[in-house]
Amino acid sequence: MTDKATLRAQALTARAAGGDRDALDRHLIAALAPHAGVVLAGYWPMRDEADPRAAMAAHDGPVALPVVTGAARPLTFRLWQGGALERGPFGTSHPPESAPEVRPDVLIVPLAGFDDRGNRLGYGGGFYDRTLELLRKSGPVLAVGLAFEVQRLPAIPTEPTDQPLDLIVTEGGARTPLR
């Protein structure tokens, strides 16, 4: 099987082609509609990432953004009510320290690539793996991967620390991973 680094490079190159953004918004909003009232973590898109902001704006409940707190540390999440963001490491943007920290119930997870089993590839920092591991220890959490169809890979090799996705949304619709 092709190694993760090679697959990541392939998926990131493919991602640049993007896909139907209106369809992506529609499917993500529909997938999140049953989760009104809970804390939703989105992300501030970078480079060619699929943009979750329409669905964050449509969410009927609190919305949070991730904060990088250190290299091998899980992400934290701060409530975001539309105010100004600060620049973080790796080109990220996050709410200021004055914003309350919250525990997300549903996370929109940015992806380099995904496969039909719900395995995911990010930028390789292990941030979402560490974060989902921690959150899953403290209660139920739904990890919704967001990507374009061009980011789908035949099979991603797994490591014991990988945290799978519960749902994958693309411009083609929502898929429940085959396990």
Ligand X SMILES: Nc1ncnc2c1ncn2[C@@H]1O[C@H](COP(=O)(O)OP(=O)(O)OP(=O)(O)O)[C@@H](O)[C@H]1O
Binding site for ligand FFO (CB under 6 A): 43-46, 49, 66, 68, 75, 90-92, 110, 122-125, 127-128
| 167 among annotated binding-site residues | no
Least CB distance to ligand X at residue 164 (A): 11
How far is Cα 114 from Cα 29, in angstroms, rounded to an integer? Answer: 20
Nearer of residues 32 and 112 to ligand FFO, judged by Cβ:
112
Per CB under 6 A, 123 contacts ligand X: yes
Q: Tell me which of ligand X, ligand FFO, none is bound by residue 129, counting a contact when its beta carbon lies within the kind-specific cut-off of 5 to 8 angstroms.
A: ligand X
| 124 among annotated binding-site residues | yes
Per CB under 6 A, 121 contacts ligand X: yes
| 122 among annotated binding-site residues | yes
- DSSP string for the chain: ---HHHHHHHHHHHHTT---HHHHHHHHHHHHGGGTTS-EE-----TT----HHHHHH-SS-EEEEE--STTS--EEEE-SS---EE-GGG-EE--TTSPB---SEEEEE-SEE-TTS-EE-SSS-HHHHHHHHHHHSS--EEEEE--GGGB-S-----TT----SEEEETTEEEPPP-
Q: Tell me which of ligand X, ligand FFO, none is bound by residue 105, counting a contact when its beta carbon lies within the kind-specific cut-off of 5 to 8 angstroms.
A: none
| 37 among annotated binding-site residues | no
Per CB under 6 A, 73 contacts ligand X: no
Pick out the residues of the known binding site for ATP: 4-8, 120-128
Using CB under 6 A, list all residues that contact ligand X.
4, 121-130, 133, 159, 161-162
